[in-house]
């Protein structure tokens, strides 16, 4: 048991060293002090947006420091108890230490993952688009399964979820949908989900019960903060209104309330199909600004623009993750090689481990 305890202590210590490097611990207190001085400057509050941004940045730095210090203090206490237990030879204390180390290891892992979410827009809310790809009705059904998966994931994190638009499939499922997901680090988590997702299963729509492969694409982009200025010329956009699809009958939409905005220079198209045309226009402009901002962010990094251009090609060769139901059950991320055989758990929104495995290699 003592060997196991020593091993756990060493593993947590290594994780803390890694977290220390990621959060820039040596000068973190200095950065917090600088932000505090800026926030205390009366002139700063003349610009409310700038003041809010500084306060948010300071709070993020404080949280990183406090999280690290808390884990480090708990580890120090465990080390002291381990010394006492070793001297006294108390098996009961060893058992308690093992339990405490397991809890602390989970906390450290959570903090380690959060230390990866340090991108420019990682703290922001996110738009999440899902589009069915190669596979017809199968892919439409798969797109709806993915929609449910991300909905459940967001619920587990107590994120607010808003449906912006949805286009139902001809026979089943959905052709496309867009959600706005609001919560701390929503974009930081979801950004690694952008790409093509591949499903292999026995088709429920095939009377011969043959195995089918389906594809759907997922794309996440950050909701632009008010302090980020994105200028869009009215001459660069085309606005179309149309009737949103629905169940028909007395529930059919009888007015052209849905809105589609096309940004001509980039070719970006956004839609919103709520009841209010005014709200749909606002949703579309917010989504368009976010898309243009995300596009600019991608252009800054070499090689990322190429993947952006291919995002719509939901088919063979472009998948980032495979979900296999037949002839065995396995979900595997093709970027990090992380995998799990608990297919149902993943579809129920348990995505953090898969997401974290990709964040760690970025």
Return the structure tokens found at 123: 């703290």
Pick from 153, 158, 216: which is nearest to 347 by CA?
Answer: 153
Q: How far apart are CA 289 and CA 273, in angstroms?
A: 18
More confident residue, 250 or 345: 345
Q: Are 220 and 294 in contact (CB under 8 A)?
A: no
Region(s) of the chain under CATH 3.30.70.1660: 126-232+271-359
* Confidence grade of residue 339 (pLDDT, cut at 50, 70, 90): very high
Region(s) of the chain under CATH 1.20.58.410: 2-114
**pLDDT digits 0-9 by tens, 263-285:** 998 889 999 887 788 888 888 88
Q: What is the mean pLDDT of residues 50-69?
A: 87
Q: What is the mean pLDDT of residues 313-328?
A: 77
Is residue 341 over pLDDT 80? yes
Angle between helices 91-114 and 352-359 (to 10 degrees): 70
**Exposure of 267 by Cβ count < 10 A (0-12 exposed, 13-18 middle, 19+ buried)?**
exposed
Residue 297, Ramachandran bin (φ over 0: left; ψ between -120 and 50: alpha; else beta): alpha
Output the pTM of the full model: 0.72
pLDDT the model gives residue 244: 67
* Confidence grade of residue 303 (pLDDT, cut at 50, 70, 90): very low
* Confidence grade of residue 210 (pLDDT, cut at 50, 70, 90): confident
Instruction: Report which DSSP code applies to 342.
Output: -
**pLDDT digits 0-9 by tens, 175-201:** 999 999 999 899 999 999 999 999 999
One-character DSSP codes across 186-229: HHHHHGGG-EEEEEEEE-TT-TT--EEEEEEEEEEEEPPPTTS-
Q: How many CB atoms lie within 10 A of CB 84?
A: 11
Calculate what percentage of the chain has a pLDDT beyond 70: 88
pLDDT the model gives residue 317: 55
Between 85-99, 125-139, 260-274, 328-342, the lowest mean confidence (pLDDT) is in 85-99
**pLDDT digits 0-9 by tens, 86-113:** 887 777 788 888 889 999 999 998 898 8
pLDDT the model gives residue 101: 92
pLDDT the model gives residue 300: 55
The residue assigned the tokens 């000068």 is: 27
Q: What is the mean pLDDT of residues 141-146?
A: 96
Calculate what percentage of the chain has a pLDDT beyond 90: 42
Tell whether domain 2-114 is in CATH 1.20.58.410: yes
Is residue 237 over pLDDT 60? yes
Q: Which are the contacts of 344, defined by CB distance < 8 A and separation ≥ 6? A: none
Mean pLDDT in the chain?
85
**pLDDT digits 0-9 by tens, 2-39:** 888 888 899 999 999 999 988 888 899 899 999 999 88
* Confidence grade of residue 310 (pLDDT, cut at 50, 70, 90): very low
pLDDT the model gives residue 307: 45
**pLDDT digits 0-9 by tens, 67-87:** 999 999 999 999 988 888 888
Q: What is the mean pLDDT of residues 315-333?
A: 85
Rg (C-alpha) for the chain, rounded Å, is: 24
Is residue 256 over pLDDT 90? no
Q: Are 182 and 125 in contact (CB under 8 A)?
A: yes
CATH architecture of 126-232+271-359: 2-Layer Sandwich (3.30)
Return the structure tokens found at 63: 């949280």
């Amino acid at each position: 048991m003592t060997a196991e305890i020593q091993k756990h202590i060493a593993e947590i210590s290594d994780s803390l060293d890694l977290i220390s490097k990621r959060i820039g611990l040596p000068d973190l207190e200095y950065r917090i002090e600088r932000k505090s001085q800026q926030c205390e400057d009366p002139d700063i509050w003349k610009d409310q947006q700038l003041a809010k941004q500084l306060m948010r940045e300071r709070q993020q730095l404080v949280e990183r420091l406090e999280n690290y210090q808390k884990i480090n203090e708990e580890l120090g206490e465990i080390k002291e108890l381990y010394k006492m237990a070793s001297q006294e030879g108390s098996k009961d204390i060893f058992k308690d230490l093992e339990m405490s180390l397991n809890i602390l290891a989970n906390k450290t892992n959570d903090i380690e993952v959060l230390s990866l979410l340090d991108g420019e827009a990682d703290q922001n809310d996110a738009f999440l688009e899902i589009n069915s790809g190669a596979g017809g009705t199968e892919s439409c059904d798969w797109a709806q399964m993915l929609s449910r998966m991300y909905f459940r994931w967001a619920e587990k994190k107590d994120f607010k979820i808003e449906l912006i638009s949805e286009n139902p499939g001809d026979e089943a499922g959905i052709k496309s949908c867009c959600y706005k997901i609001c919560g701390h680090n929503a974009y930081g988590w979801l950004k690694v989900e952008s790409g093509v997702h591949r499903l292999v299963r026995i088709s429920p729509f095939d009377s011969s019960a043959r195995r089918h492969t389906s594809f759907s694409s997922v794309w996440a982009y950050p909701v632009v903060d008010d302090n980020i200025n994105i200028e869009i010329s009215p001459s660069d956009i085309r606005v179309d209104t149309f009737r949103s699809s629905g169940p028909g009958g007395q529930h059919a939409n009888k007015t052209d309330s849905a809105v589609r905005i096309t940004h001509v220079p980039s070719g970006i198209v956004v839609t919103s199909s709520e009841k209010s045309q005014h709200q749909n226009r606002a949703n579309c402009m917010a989504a368009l600004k976010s898309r243009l901002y995300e596009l600019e962010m991608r252009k800054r990094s070499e090689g990322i623009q190429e993947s952006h251009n291919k995002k719509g090609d939901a088919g063979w060769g472009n998948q980032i993750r495979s979900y296999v139901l037949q002839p065995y059950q396995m979900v595997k991320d093709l970027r990090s090689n992380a995998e799990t055989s608990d297919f149902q758990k993943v579809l129920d929104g348990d995505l953090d481990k898969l997401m974290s495995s990709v964040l760690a290699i970025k």
